[in-house]
Structure 1
């Protein structure tokens, strides 16, 4: 594992990582009312809750960012609704001035089982962008169960129904495991629930979910081919992964390659219930490692995010991640599109951050491109942009 100088790390950090966060993940509670078999969260059975002191410190930090900068504050558990609407409203209160000024917007990812009228009132009152996790029809959602082992499917669908009744827009995210061979069935079902967009996460090894089998590249490619075929017949449905690839193609085709290549990673601060901050990957929160320690970059109660981010290049895992990005750029034909493997996937799959290719890369990026472009070798995106543009 590499140990570059502090100056080199600072320069690399400024090259690869944005100076301000555009997305901050907050963990209002560690508790989750479900026990999904693939969950990566280590403390989901414990009820630890965030205090207003922590959210006030985060809000103060965001107020220091440039006035024109907009930050998404994403409430993510555990199950964030397990804290209750009154407590979450209290945690949101310090952000209200920033929200009303257009400098902060709220989002929330939920399993939807606890949605009721008070929650809908909160979503409307604070203009919360709601994301719901559901893996498809009942048989594909079977791994989402409560702590007694009871299926959560009916409760999830009921919660989604509440959103629909109140005309609250929502997106869906599905973890694709057993459904990888049933793309059309999966998308038909998800579309029928009425979301604004659909995200498809092929199951990953991360957090405490480190032993389940991963799909072979050929199977992932067949899945994406089926998704493209379905999408061609349903042009009004936004599928997140296809939309991202289309955005890349439009940018390149429009002669804006420089703007695409100038993109820098969001530092992605994730704030735990006690104010502890990890960077680059929410999945690192609560994880300990003999070499990397606890991955903490600081605590927002004792130092503002600006200071935490300014010193981030000194963290071994951050410095190694920057080396990994540089290695991806030099060695991977798909870098032009994907811009480098995710930090958490590098660590949980390969055991280090300066590694390059991961199964996540292959299943969710490379095979997505190959499915569109008809690529059957490793020549990658740079040599096949024209065929992909024609395919779209």
Structure 2
């Protein structure tokens, strides 16, 4: 159990701190009787030491079941900096050419691939060949064919393939899912997912078709796609989509700027979603049923998630998403724990099939039937 002091620091409310002072004393008194975690520690190497890799590394400082023990990068200076910061031994550091040698390193259990999308497949195949569990950022690949190859390779190597779906462990998100499963919203009729921001540097990898696999859909759009599935509890059976491009210089051929897309579900429910690199303030989910609703805004951001339902505000605790994710993944790898919403490669392939269908609908202008 984390200390009450840490809890109060996160809240930053002095008045509430005073109210909770007696509880702080109680927590301090009872802390000694709580058993410390003594199970296996998931020892992770991060492959790709960029901005998000750094966020994961920082979050892992607070993990109780996972630990950063290795580094893989194409930039030697980054490795040196991270070694000093996180105390990583030289024997656990690799570059992109020699990291296949991790097969001989018993101190690394898993490799977390955090690189541009276009590199995910090849790196995960190498991780599997080395006999290590693979964790991969989302979207897992640039299309469903590549994603399935990754799933098959990990199965053949008898290692797990997990994907960084951090929202699948977020408390407010899980509460909405629980309410939907228990029928508190009634029959689900409609979902709306709005995901977007105004992208900056036109030379970055996210606007490079080869590295990104597309544009906004291959970055921020994955949240609305995946969210439509876990919020409704259904799998789409048809897709329609429309693309808008206002800047063909910045958003070159094959790099989408804005896509609106719609899903139809077996129950008759529909989803209306937006993925964009040209609008800010878009991070919202809305779920509507015939007995109630849920609205989340922000719905998928790195900071605190906020939401409300027809019953009032959601007040589940604020967590560091990546810390919870990595601890939960340790449980999945070591104890075969089944999360409420899957985070395995098969789950990711379903999203990739929908991305393929969205791009097909944009290209043809027709409704695309899907079966995932």
Give the TM-score normalised by the residue count of structure 2.
Answer: 0.29
Structure 1-normalised TM-score? Answer: 0.28
Larger RCO, structure (CA 8 Å, separation 6 or more): 1
